[in-house]
Structure 1
Amino acid sequence: MNELKGKIAVIYGAGGAIGGAVARAFAREGAKLFLTGHRLAPVEAVARDIVSAGGDAEAAQIDALDEQAIDKHLESVMASADRIDISFNAMGILPTPDLEASLVDMDLKQFWTPIMSYITSYFLTARLAARRMLANKSGVIMTVTAPPPRIGTPNGGYGPSQAVKEALTRYLSVELSPQGIRVVGLQAHAMPETKTITEIYEGRAGMMGLTWEQFTGYLAGTNHPKRFLTLAELANVAVFVASDKASAMMGTTVNVTMGAMD
């Protein structure tokens, strides 16, 4: 317990399934949370849960694609807490654009939109957090990716967007690790607790002719234990990676696919 006691953490996309789960786990381990999201209501709901459980969390409505909004919010965090120890980007795009579209048939905007959105958000939040972390030569920058770029799942620009995020994790680490700042990603796979899997099923259901049980059974069958990764399990890994116990872990994307990827 208290692996993150006294740590100051900013989470983007905190109103989503992954961001909310990580926020609650960080709070249980003693971190003070500054939660953000494109819509305020779900972020406030997470903050209320944390506070009611005895934790410390504040909610703010921030567009994770808006550089000025991110910068202004981080300035307010610095004014309140005097430092930033953890930046966690769980920003997602819902509905996920053009998951089922053919690469041959789609136009450039369809292909480029998820790439531009995911990489812009990760770059801005990481860069602006790093500028604050450099003063103390300490901090952890984190994000979440998915396996499609490694297995070639046909889903337009979504897979390439995740590949670019993993590359940026390595690039940022090369630059920031000598300054005491770790950069690490988490690669998760097929969690029915998130809206993304529901969207994929709804997009492919007619084409595949599968029931929800058949679809999720197929996905679970692609990993070693033949069951799904849970949000709680992912959040527990995030706690470890963010903690000082993972001080040797940097410049990599942690495989949390339960064996689906080797």
Structure 2
Amino acid sequence: MLLENKNAVVHGAGGAVGAAVARAFAAEGARVFLAGRTGSALEAVAGKIRAAGGVAEVATLDALDEDAVEAHADAVSRTAGSLDVSFTAVSLPQTGIQGSRLVDLPPAGFDLPIATYTRANFLTTRAAARRMTAQGSGVILTITASPSRTAVPLMGGMAPAWAAVEALSRGLAAEAGPHGVRVVCLNAAGMADTPQIAEVYGLHADARGISRDAFQARMADLTLRKQLPTVAEIADVATFVASDRARGMTGAIANLTGGLIAD
């Protein structure tokens, strides 16, 4: 198993991406600590992991709350003996953020994602890095989307927020690398099989006066394989990158855009 005897924290584990990654981690042997704001969603994910024979624990907390994030990292390290993998997949409702031109966007629609995504990723990755550098090992994963590196209209503050998370990941990799800690950011095109992406596609479709299905087809056509990545595909790569088989990878932006961005 790729993650046998590893202890993994997943922030935003109640969402589609976080839940998929948590299940994939558990399937490969990790003891998974699910963190997020909605306890019922976390318990549902934990139930699926346990039913499949995995080990999962739940903590309800806000990734924007510094004290809560630090206390949770302490609790994991203390009870499990180590914090080996950290993955952050926080999200926001996108109405009022995406789907409007920058010249028409109120400051709040621009500021909110930048403040939220950067702070949440900073607090969660910092908490993980503190424990991992002390123990001399660990893997920290973040996730962004293709507009961080492409020219995409109607993204509001999301593209700058994702670009900031990527810069944060590289900087942390440089600082934590000498202590045995790897940091990798996963960059994905919109996974059409998640409720949030369905919402986002609807906002962009409405702004263009087309159907959501038509907009999704346009997005898929921009990829080289003519299909968008799935949540399961993202989870598979996250699991591999978190494992020792990817120990030569750090400070990298892993391209999961299906060729929408051709590196």
Could you say which residue in structure 1 is the equivalent of 2:176?
Answer: 176
CA distance in 1, matches of 2:189, 2:118: 19
Over 4 Å off, 4+ runs: none
Match of 1:220, as an amino acid? Answer: A
For 1:140-219, list aligned pairs within 5 A: 140-154=139-153, 155-219=155-219
Cα pair 2:20 2:235 within 8 Å, conserved: yes
* TM superposition shift of 1:103: 1.7
CA distance in 2, matches of 1:188, 1:24: 19
* TM superposition shift of 1:98: 1.4
CA distance in 2, matches of 1:97, 1:117: 15
CA distance in 1, matches of 2:212, 2:49: 32
* TM superposition shift of 1:180: 0.4
CA distance in 2, matches of 1:250, 1:203: 35
- Give the 3-state SS of the residue equivalent to 2:156 in structure 1: coil
Match of 1:6, as an amino acid? Answer: N
* TM superposition shift of 1:128: 0.9
For 1:122-133, list aligned pairs within 5 A: 122-133=121-132
Which deviates further from its counterpart, 198-207 or 114-123?
198-207
Structure 2, unaligned stretches of length 5 or more? none
CA distance in 2, matches of 1:242, 1:54: 20
For 1:11-90, list aligned pairs within 5 A: 11-90=10-89
Cα pair 1:96 1:196 within 8 Å, conserved: no
Cα pair 2:186 2:255 within 8 Å, conserved: yes
CA distance in 1, matches of 2:186, 2:204: 26
Which deviates further from its counterpart, 191-200 or 42-51?
191-200
Judged with a 3 Å threshold, the aligned counterparts in structure 2 of structure 1 residues 200 and 95 are, in CA distance, closer, same or farther, namely closer
Structure 1, unaligned stretches of length 5 or more? none
Match of 2:157, as an amino acid? Answer: G
For 1:111-126, list aligned pairs within 5 A: 111-126=110-125
Match of 1:92, as an amino acid? Answer: S
Residue identity (%):
46
Cα pair 2:143 2:187 within 8 Å, conserved: yes
Judged with a 3 Å threshold, the aligned counterparts in structure 2 of structure 1 residues 12 and 96 are, in CA distance, closer, same or farther, namely farther
Match of 1:55, as an amino acid? Answer: G
* TM superposition shift of 1:157: 0.4
Cα pair 2:84 2:137 within 8 Å, conserved: yes
Which deviates further from its counterpart, 213-222 or 31-40?
213-222
CA distance in 1, matches of 2:111, 2:213: 33
Judged with a 3 Å threshold, the aligned counterparts in structure 2 of structure 1 residues 204 and 258 are, in CA distance, closer, same or farther, namely closer
Could you say which residue in structure 2 is the equivalent of 1:4?
Answer: 3
- Give the 3-state SS of the residue equivalent to 1:104 in structure 2: helix
For 1:206-245, list aligned pairs within 5 A: 206-245=206-245
Match of 2:215, as an amino acid? Answer: F
* TM superposition shift of 1:17: 0.6
- Give the 3-state SS of the residue equivalent to 1:134 in structure 2: helix
Judged with a 3 Å threshold, the aligned counterparts in structure 2 of structure 1 residues 97 and 6 are, in CA distance, closer, same or farther, namely farther
* TM superposition shift of 1:96: 5.3
CA distance in 2, matches of 1:96, 1:242: 33
Match of 2:177, as an amino acid? Answer: S
Match of 1:185, as an amino acid? Answer: C
Could you say which residue in structure 2 is the equivalent of 1:260?
Answer: 260
User: Does 1:100 pair with 2:99?
Assistant: yes
* TM superposition shift of 1:145: 0.3
CA distance in 2, matches of 1:221, 1:105: 28
* TM superposition shift of 1:159: 0.5
TM-score using structure 2 length? 0.96
TM-score using structure 1 length? 0.96
Judged with a 3 Å threshold, the aligned counterparts in structure 2 of structure 1 residues 252 and 81 are, in CA distance, closer, same or farther, namely same
* TM superposition shift of 1:97: 4.3
- Give the 3-state SS of the residue equivalent to 2:98 in structure 1: coil
CA distance in 1, matches of 2:120, 2:96: 16
CA distance in 2, matches of 1:96, 1:148: 17
Cα pair 2:188 2:256 within 8 Å, conserved: yes
Structure 1, residues 201-245: CA drift from partner, whole Å, max 9, x if none?
Answer: 322333323233322211111111111211111111001100001
- Give the 3-state SS of the residue equivalent to 1:5 in structure 2: coil
- Give the 3-state SS of the residue equivalent to 2:222 in structure 1: coil
